Structure 1
């Protein structure tokens, strides 16, 4: 694992290396604000999955700064994150519990539904999770899967500029049809077509 940052804008305060993560506490040179970043590569084996969550909890206990975790978690959080998956298992529950207990936000993913593709298998294994404090620090952040050229994993871009996550959903309330104002807009006998 490799973490890199612009040392003109940021200085590192502390670095922690674990079996599944590499974390750095960074301080912004200009305003001295601090945040924590953890890069992760989650384990494959069931026996090590509990150790993975314990390691990240210990990182969190060492530093209370706004936190961003990113990388290959090697697990999915819910049914729709793996092609053909139709039931929740203990690993998914453990992942969701870790996110909830640590008050992390799993941002929507733009650009693709899955971040890992091999043959007909597809899963969302890679992501960024951010703390509420980090979201206050960078309020309009989004993550986007980029095209993968060499690896079977998509690179994930965490960008502080808000970008559209797709078209806004169409919403329509039947009660609007009962409104006198709607009748006036339609000219008393207009035609409204909904597709």
Structure 2
């Protein structure tokens, strides 16, 4: 295949002895077979940034086995499209797998006007919500379409001034947790 392509996910296998810690079981045949599958498809491993291990087994509150099971495999043509391609191992939260993030280092412009409006139910428990909603609705209550537009505008302003960018705040907190 001459088109750029990649496969990302849990391969449920590891590619070298240093990608497994906590077991003495001989697995060279497994590793060789895994590499044979890649080679047959002319694929290569993109590597990783941060933690090597993407899967952890816990037993009685202790880590008993760690492996790198999740990865990105790609062909050489993909490197031409994404020369700065990186795979970042993120912090695990609920699963026994760490999520992986494929970062292409492409900065895509975000058009705020085209983003869909999303109402957050959590806003309703905030003290100012009813006042802001009612005030915006009453300004244009003679036209349903205008009332909805005005309420949307007021709620977007309210969200930004009251809560800020919660996704940006979450990202900062996750980075701080990774540093712990």
TM-score by length of 1: 0.48
Q: Which residue of 2 aligns with 1:133?
A: 77
Whole-angstrom CA distance in 1 between matches of 2:38 and 2:96: 25
- Checking the alignment, whether the CA contact within 8 Å between 1:78 and 1:88 is kept in structure 2 is no
Once the two structures are TM-superposed, the CA of residue 65 in structure 1 deviates from its matched residue by 2.2
- Checking the alignment, whether the CA contact within 8 Å between 1:79 and 1:85 is kept in structure 2 is no
The number of equivalent residue pairs is 100
Q: Does 1:122 align with 2:66?
A: yes
| Gap regions ≥5 residues in structure 2 | 59-63, 107-180
Once the two structures are TM-superposed, the CA of residue 106 in structure 1 deviates from its matched residue by 0.6
Q: Which residue of 1 aligns with 2:91?
A: 147
Kindly indicate which of the two structures has a greater share of residues assigned to strand: 1
Query: Which structure is richer in relative contact order (CA contacts within 8 A, separation 6 or more)?
Result: 2
Secondary structure of the corresponding residue to residue 111 of structure 1: coil
TM-score by length of 2: 0.51
Q: Does 1:70 align with 2:4?
A: no
Q: Which residue of 2 aligns with 1:106?
A: 45
Q: Which residue of 2 aligns with 1:83?
A: 21
Q: Which residue of 1 aligns with 2:124?
A: none
- Checking the alignment, whether the CA contact within 8 Å between 2:2 and 2:77 is kept in structure 1 is no
Secondary structure of the corresponding residue to residue 95 of structure 2: coil
| Gap regions ≥5 residues in structure 1 | 1-62, 163-195
Whole-angstrom CA distance in 2 between matches of 1:72 and 1:132: 21
Whole-angstrom CA distance in 2 between matches of 1:142 and 1:85: 29
Secondary structure of the corresponding residue to residue 109 of structure 1: coil
Whole-angstrom CA distance in 2 between matches of 1:88 and 1:152: 22
Kindly indicate which of the two structures has a greater share of residues assigned to helix: 2
